[in-house]
Amino acid sequence: MNINTPIPSSHNKAYMLVLAGMCAVILSALAFEHIGGYQPCKLCLQQREPWYLGIPIAALAVISLLMKGPAFASRGLLLISGLVLVYSTVLGVHHSGVEWGFWEGPGDCGAVDGGISSDTGNFLQQLEQSVPPSCNEAALRVLGLSFAGWNAFASLVLAAVALVTAFRR
């Protein structure tokens, strides 16, 4: 398949699905943190980085597609988005493995607890009492998967859609 092959309009939904799915995943993670009160660990925060990188790239792919830009640009941007999602899958599988005890996580795993206030008089005391979340304990499991597991699953599905669509005629 030639990367310059014109992109049929039937691909529009797949491009949009990848972008919407990526936005939904990161917005869900942020909602669980800021609304649900689940504090992310170091590996959780690391898993967000591909989404922050991939969403603008996927958005550029959609814009290029809708503006009838060169096929190689639209396909190339979607391909890059797919590769970023593959990386996100690897990070999610790694974190899930740490949670299940298959391998060790980083020794410095943890993040600052969000319960610290801006009261400077008690700041040091709050820091001493703050316990960062552990990377090897899942904060929540839904249908047997932790947040890291669901991240890996969503990343894999969206990566498959992006990569297949990028190479499909």
Q: 9-100+141-167: what CATH class?
A: mainly alpha
pLDDT at 88: 93
The Cα-based distances of 78 to 38, 87, 101, 125, 158 in angstroms read: 31, 14, 34, 48, 11
Apex CA 144: angle with CA 143 and CA 148, to 5°?
105
Q: Check: CB of residue 133 under 8 Å from CB of residue 111.
A: yes
Q: Phi and psi at residue 3, in whole multiples of 5°?
A: -65, -15
Q: pTM (2 decimals)? A: 0.74
Whether residue 41 is predicted with pLDDT greater than 90 in this model: the reply is no
* Closest C-alpha among 51, 69, 74, 13 to residue 154: 51
Q: Which stretch, 14-18, 53-57, 64-68, 148-152, has highest mean pLDDT?
A: 53-57
- Residue of 114 and 46 predicted with greater confidence: 46
φ and ψ at residue 2, rounded to 5 degrees = -85, 135
| Local confidence band at 42 (pLDDT 50, 70, 90 cut-offs) | confident
Quick: pLDDT tens for 70-118.
Answer: 878 888 899 999 999 999 999 889 888 887 777 776 676 754 444 445 5
Per-residue pLDDT at 161 exceeds 60:
yes
Q: What residues does each domain of the chain span? A: 9-100+141-167
CA atoms of 147 and 135, how far apart (whole Å): 11
Assess contact for 89 and 161: CB atoms under 8 A: no
Tell me the two tokens of residue 106. Answer: 């980083």
Q: Which two tokens stand for residue 166?
A: 């990028």
Write down the pLDDT at residue 105: 66
Summarised one tens digit per residue, pLDDT across range 117-158 is: 555 566 666 555 555 666 666 665 657 767 778 889 999 999
CA-wise closest residue to 86 among 18, 168, 11, 20:
18
142 forms beta bridges with 145
Half-sphere exposure of 112 (CA within 13 A, CB side): 9
- What band does 24 get if pLDDT is binned at 50, 70 and 90? very high
3-state secondary structure of 97: helix
Per the CB < 8 A criterion, the answer to whether 134 and 1 are in contact is: no
